[in-house]
Amino acid sequence: MISSFNNTSTPWDPSRFKLDDGLARRIASAPSNRKRRMVRRVGGLFLRGPIPMQWLHDASTLGVSVLWVGCVLWHLAGLKKSGTFQVSNLHMHRWGVERRAKSRALIALERANLVAIKNRGKRSPKVTILVGER
């Protein structure tokens, strides 16, 4: 089918589609009915929840260092958006946790069934935070 619009007498002019200034101002100043969601960025370091209070309580009974390592693990889980992640000595050192303290704390958390650890030889271990699986 052939289109019946064959207006070749006037050249195509994009300025014909421009809004006049009065209409453009009214559209720009009209109140919007859309509800805007306010997005706030978290500044600095944070723990991403929800973190079960029972998990924190159980970790706190194992000692302050173990609790601190547990908090760092929850921080890393929030950054990675996953319950399973690699825990390097460098990550822990940034939080003031030395290599041996990290190892002792991870072992204590594993014995309390708060985390599962997959040791990978000389590489950093993979840790899975266990929630409600005890």
Q: What is the CATH number of domain 53-129?
A: 1.10.10
Return the top range by mean pLDDT from 7-11, 76-80, 126-130.
126-130
Using one digit for the tens of pLDDT, what is the confidence trace for 43-96?
777 888 899 999 999 999 999 999 999 999 999 999 899 999 999 999 999 999
What is the predicted pLDDT for the residue at 6? 61
Domain locations in the chain?
A: 53-129
- Tell me what percent of the residues of the chain surpass a pLDDT of 90: 55
What is the predicted pLDDT for the residue at 106? 97
Give the count of beta carbons closer than 10 Å to the beta carbon of residue 58: 18
Average pLDDT of span 100-112: 96
Show the tokens assigned to 57.
């309580």
Average pLDDT of span 111-121: 95
- Whether 92 and 72 have beta carbons less than 8 Å apart is answered as yes
Average pLDDT of span 20-30: 80
- Whether 59 and 70 have beta carbons less than 8 Å apart is answered as yes
Q: What is the pTM for the complete model shown?
A: 0.67
pLDDT higher at 16 or 104: 104
- CA 124 to CA 120: how far, in whole Å? 7
pLDDT higher at 120 or 17: 120
Q: Which residues make beta-bridge pairs with 84?
A: 128
